[in-house]
Amino acid sequence: MVQTEERVSSGGIGRYLLVYVGILILAGLQFVIAYQHIDGSQMFARMFLIAVAEAGLALMFFMHLWEEKRGLLLFVAIFTLFVIGAMQYSWPDSFRMLVGVPTTPTTPLPH
Amino acid sequence: MIMTFILISSSLTMLIAIRAAKVGDKSGAFLWTMITAAGGILFAILHLREWFSMFDEGATLFHNPWGTPLFGASFFSITGLHLLHVLGGVVALIAVGIRYKGGRYKADDLEITGLYWHFVDLVWMFVVPFVYLLNVGH
């Protein structure tokens, strides 16, 4: 939110258009990947990488993170990695939904 | 694909609106903000149209005619929450746009609303591949 009128006049709409076209191309690429006959985890990895690239472009240029102080940029990057890392803690637990409540030899199966 | 195009394009129109506001072009900023809101409304209409066609095929929050019932719950929860945020953004864009034109809000207020709108767009970039595309080829 440190944008000034000088900065607005220095950067034209051309850069926004370039980023916009870039995001559209990346979005189109996801549709191409969706119709490739590849392994599910491979597809997930590719789509995730493209989505991160799209989001990165939107964050950096549409939301002007690139023009902010480098300290804030670093904070957002580290905080994002922390959140994604913290999500890894809970995601594996959600796989229990595929097999139901885990059982041990001492606990009988629910009827 | 069309919905994605509309939402990404509405981010561009929002940027044009903010740019106009920063250089003091009030009517231009208002016009582009309303175009952005119109994009949001169009997105919501297409989304609801898709939902109703799925209802016709028997898919609901707790029922999925094609497989596991969990799909219905996941699909309608994720897309529904996103749609709610889009609709909230449309209301905010219209309200802030009108107040900006009336002189009660500044360009910075419009920019903050724009940040929200870009974030809604950003979330959609993840919803599309993981909710729609991951199983489309199978």
What's the complex ipTM? 0.85
Confidence at residue A36, expressed as pLDDT on a 0 to 100 scale? 85
Distance (Å, whole) CA A16 – CA A92: 39
Is A12 within 8 Å of chain B by CB? no
Name, in order, each residue with C-beta under 8 angstroms of B32's C-beta and a sequence gap of 6 or more: B13, B14, B16, B17, B20
Domain of B39?
Answer: 2-133
Among all residues of chain A, which has the CA nearest to that of B126?
A51
Tally of structural domains, chain B: 1
B115 close to B93: Cβ distance less than 8 angstroms: no
* Distance, C-alpha B26 to centroid of its chain: 24
Residue B98 lies in a domain: yes
Is B15 within 8 Å of chain A by CB? yes
Confidence at residue B116, expressed as pLDDT on a 0 to 100 scale? 95
Say which DSSP state A107 is in. S
- In tens, the pLDDT along A3-57 reads 444 455 445 788 889 999 999 999 999 889 988 888 878 888 898 899 999 999 9
With the C-alpha atoms ordered A17, A24, B91, B112, is the resulting torsion angle positive or negative?
negative
Confidence at residue B100, expressed as pLDDT on a 0 to 100 scale? 93
Number of inter-chain CB pairs under 8 A, A vs B: 80
- Distance (Å) from the C-alpha of residue B12 to the closest C-alpha of chain A? 7
SS3 A9: helix
Spatial CA neighbour of A27 closest among B7, B39, B4, B122:
B4
Residue B63 lies in a domain: yes
SS3 B77: helix
Spatial CA neighbour of B42 closest among B4, B16, B75, B14:
B4
Residues A11, A16, A18, A22: what is their CA dihedral angle, to the nearest 10 degrees?
Answer: 140
Distance (Å, whole) CA B14 – CA B33: 6
pLDDT at A99 over 70: no
Residue B116 lies in a domain: yes
How crowded is residue B70: how many other Cβ atoms within 10 Å of its Cβ? 12
Distance (Å, whole) CA B76 – CA B9: 24
Enumerate the residues of chain A whose CB falls inside 8 A of the CB of residue B4.
27
Mean pLDDT of A53-77: 87
- Distance (Å) from the C-alpha of residue A46 to the closest C-alpha of chain B? 10
- Whether B122 sits inside 8 A of A30 (CB atoms) is no
Which residue(s) pair with B60 in the sheet? B63
| CATH of residue B41 | 1.20.120.80
How many distinct helices (H) and strands (E) make up chain B?
4, 0
- Distance (Å) from the C-alpha of residue B120 to the closest C-alpha of chain A? 11
- Whether A34 sits inside 8 A of B134 (CB atoms) is yes
Confidence at residue A102, expressed as pLDDT on a 0 to 100 scale? 56
Residue B58 lies in a domain: yes
Among all residues of chain B, which has the CA nearest to that of A47?
B129
Residue B138 lies in a domain: no
Which tokens belong to A48?
A: 């995730």
SS3 B63: strand
Enumerate the residues of chain B whose CB falls inside 8 A of the CB of residue A51.
125-126, 129-130
Of the ranges A17-21, A78-82, A95-99, A107-111, which one carries the lowest mean pLDDT score?
Answer: A107-111
Enumerate the residues of chain B whose CB falls inside 8 A of the CB of residue A17.
12
Q: Which of residues 70-109 of A touch B (CB under 8 A)?
A: 97
Q: What residue ranges do the domains of chain A occupy?
A: 1-67, 69-98
Q: Which of B133, B135, B136 best tests the A interface by mutation, with the highest count of A CBs <10 A? A: B133
B5 close to A24: Cβ distance less than 8 angstroms: yes
pLDDT < 70: residue spans in chain B = 137-138
- In tens, the pLDDT along B97-132 reads 999 999 899 999 999 999 999 999 999 999 998 888
